């Protein structure tokens, strides 16, 4: 039985707002390629077995806000849809007196499937909204946006 390889390509983008009582609000609109700290090309090979994408993506802005994203993926069995990649993980939003604060404001688990995306197809997108639920600082928010492709690795063996 040949080893099935798929390539998960794409990016993780964080949009967010650090609301200020005095002065201008500060915003983030930052995109990073997946696998950036691994393969460095915005892609990760996914095999028939669980493939963890262990690096935590950390986005900081405004001197007070931070989002961390943990992401994992695995190739689902070929039945019934075939060659679908399942992506899951957790996004966490921190806001406090520095970007390194331990004050966790919101955390959301996410899980979604990325079916095979033939050439020219748009990416599969998935949003994860995060917000500060407190009365003070409630205008602070972030949204993690995934834009992913599932392509055949040309060197299936």
Contacts of 28 (CB under 8 A, 6+ apart): 14, 15, 16, 18, 59, 61, 62, 65, 142
Which residues of the chain fall short of a pLDDT of 70? 1-4, 36-42, 48-56, 78-82, 136-137, 154-157
On whether the CB atoms of residues 144 and 12 are closer than 8 A, the answer is: yes
Q: Domain tally for the chain?
A: 1
**Residue 157 has what pLDDT?**
43
| Domain residue limits at 21 | 6-147
**Residue 94 has what pLDDT?**
97
Instruction: Report yes or no on 11 lying in a domain.
Output: yes
Instruction: Report yes or no on 39 lying in a domain.
Output: yes
Instruction: Report yes or no on 152 lying in a domain.
Output: no
């Amino acid at each position: 039985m040949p080893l099935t390889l798929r390539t998960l390509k794409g990016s993780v983008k964080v949009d967010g707002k650090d609301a200020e009582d005095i002065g201008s609000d500060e915003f983030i609109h930052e995109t990073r390629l997946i696998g950036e700290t691994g393969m460095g090309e915005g892609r990760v090979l996914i095999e028939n077995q669980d493939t963890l994408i262990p690096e935590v993506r950390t986005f900081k802005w405004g001197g007070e806000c931070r989002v961390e994203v943990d992401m994992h993926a695995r190739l689902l069995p070929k039945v019934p849809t075939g060659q679908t990649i399942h992506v899951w993980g957790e996004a966490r939003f921190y806001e406090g007196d520095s970007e390194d604060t331990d004050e966790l404001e919101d955390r959301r688990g996410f899980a979604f499937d990325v079916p095979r995306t033939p050439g020219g197809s748009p990416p599969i997108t998935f949003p994860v909204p995060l917000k500060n639920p407190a009365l003070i600082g409630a205008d602070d928010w972030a949204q993690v946006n995934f834009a992913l492709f599932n392509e055949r690795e040309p060197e299936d063996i």
